[in-house]
Each structure stands twice: as C-alpha cells, then as structure tokens.
Amino acid sequence: MGKMKILLGVLVALVGSVFEGVACTGISLTAKDGAYVQARTIEWSRGVLQSEYVIIPRGERLRSFTPTGSNGLSFTAKYGVVGLAVVQKEFIAEGMNEAGFSAGLFFFPHYGSYEKYDPAQNDRTLGDLQAVAWMLSQFASIDEVKAALSSVRIVGLEATSVVHWRLGEPSGRQAVLEIVEGVPHFYENTVGVLTNAPGFEWHLTNLNNYVNLFPGSAPDRSLGEITLQPIGGNSGFLGIPGDATPPSRFVRAAFYRNTAPQRATAFETVQQCFHLLNNFDIPIGIQVPAGEVPDIPSATQWTSAIDLTNRRVYYKTAYNNSIRCIDLKGINFAKVKYGAYPLDKVQEQSVEMIAVGE
C-alpha cells in the first residue's frame, strides 16, 4: 500500500499540472441525413500531453482511484468503449460507447466543487477524471446517468482541479453536468457549445451581450454628412471576442456553430466540425510568459469529432493534422482486449509529395 500511495502522489501531481493548462472548446452539429456529431479540442500549454486512444471491452473490471490509492468504486463494463485519454488510460477525456452514448470532461476551475473525500465510503467513491469511463461503460443515455449519479460520490483526485461534463445521445440531445458544492446540476444544452468556467448558465446569459452580432456585412449608414461603409466582409460580426479565454471562446463557438450551413452527410459534418474548431487552435506563445515557451507546436494538442449516429471516433493532433478514424462497428467488444495506444505512432506531420510533369 505504501508503494501505491507514492505512485498515486506522483500521478496526482502530474494530473494537477495538466489540468491547470487545459482550455477546451466543444461544439456539435447535425447533418441533413440526421447524423449527430460532437466535436472538441483539448489543450495543454506545459509540454507534450501524453494522449492515447483506449479500448474497453464488455465485461472488463475497472476500479477508480481515490486520493489514497486504487481503492475506489469497482465496476464492470456493460458496454464496449472507445475513449481518448490523457496522462494515462484510466483518464478518458472524450469518448463514446457502442450504444452511441458520448461523454467528455472539460476543465472547470474555481466554480465547481465536489463532495469532500471520505475514506469510509471508498466503495462508492469515483475519481472525477474517471467519471467519463464510468458513464460510458455503464450507460446508454443521459437519463440513465442522472438516475445512477446518487449511487456514487465523485471526488477530485487533485485539490485544485475540477471538471464538468458534456453528455450526448445519437438523437442529438446534449446535456451538461456540473457539480457545485457537492450538488449535481444537469442542463439541457440546446446551444450546442461548451467551454470552461464560469458555469454553463452564466455563459448562456453572457450571450445576450452580443445580441448585435449577425452573419454577413453591416449596411451602409449615414453619420451626419458622411456615409459609413464596412471596411471588409463579415462586419456583422464586428466586436466578437477573439481572445482565448473560456467566455470569449464560448461566444465565438456559439456564433460560428449556429451560423454554419447544415451539411448533407455525417462525414461532411465531421469535416465541418474540424474546420470550425481550427479557429480555436491556441498558439503556444500566448499561453505562457515570454521566454517560457515549451517545444511543442500548439497548445491545442488534439481535436476530435465523434459521429454518434454511425459510431465513429475521428481525431487529429498538433503533430499530424491527418484525420484518423476508429469505427466502433468494426470492433468485437466481446473479444477485444483492454488496451491503450498512442494517438500518434510518430509525432510527425505526413506530407503528400506532388510529382509534377509525370
């Protein structure tokens, strides 16, 4: 047990430093053919974030960490899962199960707060960074998560790190779960966007500050004896915030997402999600003080788009913008082994060389 405590101490220190630098942006879109896609970025500005895709088979026995060891809630996977994990395979940040139910965590500092850890209740204690794995392996709907949440005690594995969650169904229904002072709150997410702090309801209220924004160009108008004209295109969005803070990203994502034309098919919609989220790549130089820039290409370390209807997980990374796909329908979750694999086999951008004149 002593060795376990030492290992967990190292783990907690690493997790804490990771989630201090996370600034994620999530959007969702529905195709004309009815396919529903949830997409998101994940950021860390302090160096290479170890990221893996994780396969959880049906029947796999899993156990949560607590602040004192690997001695928390024990549960068996009812559904097969594909997840994208950070730091280590237990910490799935985004994923989907074979029923098409999706869940992901987003950093939520200063505004969320869990129940206090009680070692006497370890058998029902669930670490916050493992809640996505628990949800995906156990449930097929938002309502099932709601009904079961009182059976567990979600606690933080690191004192300064708090997250909230986005849940989605193939029907297009999406909800946000936030825990404040130990009390869970579910919000229906019809705007289809999520970032970080403050709370989800605050972000919705803040959108009212941008009631003047509209797609296209503003009309000419007279100002006394002179005529004012737009200097360039998209003047209807003049004043939309362009910084990387969570409130600004929420506003920008909401307007980009809700003005995006609806695409015909699932894959076209996946591509559109990647195009929209390109606008939320965070340059590494703005995230840290001058002179402290780590040797990584971007603070946005990977971007995913999950097709809940067709059960496909797509992703690209800062090192390789080629889109890769995991098709859950092609996985036999009764026989596949539990495992984790790097998102990039080699951290290098693939380049297609064009042979001219041949």
* Tens digit of each residue's pLDDT (9 = 90 or more) over 264-302: 999 999 999 999 999 999 988 888 888 887 888 888 999
**Token reading at 149:** 């949440």
- Position 310 scores a pLDDT of 98
Mean pLDDT of all residues in 23-27: 94
User: Over 60: is that where the pLDDT of 212 sits?
Assistant: yes
Mean pLDDT of all residues in 191-216: 97
pLDDT in tens, 33-87: 999 999 999 998 888 889 999 999 999 999 999 999 999 999 999 999 999 999 9
- SS3 assignment, position 147: helix
User: Over 80: is that where the pLDDT of 3 sits?
Assistant: no
Cβ partners under 8 Å of residue 295, min gap 6: none
Residue-averaged pLDDT of the chain:
93
User: Over 90: is that where the pLDDT of 130 sits?
Assistant: yes
User: Over 80: is that where the pLDDT of 336 sits?
Assistant: yes
Question: What confidence category does residue 21 fall into, taking pLDDT thresholds of 50, 70 and 90?
Answer: low
Closest CA to 18 of 72, 67, 85, 68: 85
User: Over 50: is that where the pLDDT of 6 sits?
Assistant: no
| C-beta separation of 97 from 80 below 8 A | yes
